[in-house]
Amino acid sequence: MGRLFGTDGVRGVANADLTAEMALALSVAAAHVLAEAGTFEGHKPTAVVGRDPRASGEFLEAAVVAGLASAGVDVLRVGVLPTPAVAHLTGALGADLGVMLSASHNAMPDNGIKFFARGGHKLADELEDRIESIYESHRHGEPWQRPTGAGVGRVRSDDEGSEQYIAHLLSVLPNRLDGLKIVLDEAHGAASGVSPEAFARAGAEVVTLGAEPDGLNINDGCGSTHLDPLKAAVVAHGADLGIAHDGDADRCLAVDHTGAEVDGDQILAVLALAMQERSALRADTVVATVMSNLGFKLAMERAGIRLVQTAVGDRYVLEELKEHGYALGGEQSGHVIILDHATTGDGTLTGLLLAARVAETGRTLRELASVMERLPQVLINVPDVDRSRVGTSADLAAAVAEAERELGETGRVLLRPSGTEPLVRVMVEAADIDQARAVAGRLADAVKSALG
């Protein structure tokens, strides 16, 4: 069997790959593993459980709550809230465990389970592995040790979670948003209630899209994966900017007043300069992945900001931030982590801070985002090749070196073996799109020839 936990928890088609039985058993396993690790020592453990609005989240939440309570864990059900809100509440309420039910930007039939450790941080890999091991043992007949009587967990609902989260968001804003008109696309997702409320309380005039979740319409033609409705609405309403979240609101993309997209790299650049100005960018360093546009790196160099790059995935960005105490990191996809105020990507917080910079400077988002020029980027997937030999083929290394010589300082080459399929991704950036396409085409041929 493959590893259950991916880079973002356990995910699959609800009621097919991810069943109620699995959700219940994984929750029991998580309780046992954290008890073994000493997390619960000396007190009755508590878990915060939240979800996005997917229909399947209703029965999966019931299964998770049942599993945790049957293992002796008291459960606080906070209902439909963004992933970063559940992480925040896990820390703020002193809970021993947080559980979020969401498949983020995936289509409605999918769902997922993500566990947070005390403090609202992602569970360590070794704990996830142990949970999976105990879950597998139970599936093959090993009985659970179960508390009885007063030892079972108690379950209660908490309606104050959204208010606590909104208060937290507003408390970290450097200035108000008065005078700004902002369109918010909530993807019919987990932030549909809290995000418009937070922006309105911060002083913005708010127009909402995709803020009427019915359990079936999450991410459906809206949100950060479908920006066209937001672009049209920003222009139609004469808004200053637009903000788009995904289903669990851990990411944020933006649109300027002309309807042009502002991606995660540009958002990161704007926030990095704002934080540098306030002496909040520790070590004058920002963390991003190897997929960040070369234009971002060049913009940071011009500003005297050091760029540390990681493997692709917000978990690697977070690890780098925590290990070295940096304050800001993110991905092109809009996962932005502001470590002083969040333990995970937080799309609402990111959007608020971006809008706050517009309000503070009196400059348009278009002008602020122009601090970096997005260089043309061409990506080609080369299938049916031996991805394991990317780093050992002399012929391929020679082809890459030749491409890098041709591109010089204004271009970049990246070859990435897929983590799940027999293919290699060829990414080329250049100042000119035709040159990027030509170089990428030649490198794709070289990959086929060397690894086919």
Task: Convert the pLDDT of each residue in 21-47 to its tens digit.
Answer: 999 999 999 999 999 888 888 889 999
Other C-beta atoms lying within 10 Å of the C-beta of residue 40: 18
**207-253 pLDDT, tens per residue?**
999 999 999 999 999 999 999 999 999 999 999 999 999 999 999 99
Compute the mean pLDDT over every residue in the chain, rounded to the nearest whole number: 94
Encode the chain (452 residues) as per-residue pLDDT tens digits: 357 888 778 999 999 999 999 999 999 999 999 998 888 888 899 999 999 999 999 999 999 999 999 999 999 999 999 999 999 999 999 999 999 999 999 999 999 999 999 999 998 889 999 999 999 998 887 788 899 999 999 999 998 999 999 999 999 999 999 999 999 999 999 999 999 999 999 999 999 999 999 999 999 999 999 999 999 999 999 999 999 999 999 999 999 999 999 999 999 999 999 999 999 999 999 999 988 999 999 999 999 999 999 988 888 999 999 999 999 999 999 999 999 999 999 999 999 999 999 999 999 999 999 999 999 989 999 998 888 888 888 889 999 999 999 998 889 899 988 766 778 999 999 988 999 999 999 999 999 988 88
Q: Provide the annotated binding site for Mg(2+).
A: 104, 246, 248, 250
Reported as type and span, the H/E element at residue 129 is helix 125-139
Residues 6+ apart with CB under 8 A from 370: none
Other C-beta atoms lying within 10 Å of the C-beta of residue 301: 11
Give residue 238's Cα distance to chain centre: 29
Task: Provide the whole-model pTM.
Answer: 0.91
Distance CA 328, CA 312 (A): 16
Q: Provide the annotated binding site.
A: 104, 246, 248, 250
For residues 35 and 131, the answer to whether their CB atoms sit within 8 Å is no
- Domains, the chain, in order of start with CATH, read 10-160 (3.40.120.10), 173-369 (3.40.120.10), 377-451 (3.30.310.50)
Other C-beta atoms lying within 10 Å of the C-beta of residue 103: 29
Distance CA 122, CA 322 (A): 11
Q: Which of 315, 189, 331, 314 lies closest to 249 in space, CA to CA?
A: 189
Other C-beta atoms lying within 10 Å of the C-beta of residue 204: 26
252-256 vs 241-245, strand pairing mode: antiparallel
Residues identified as active-site: 104
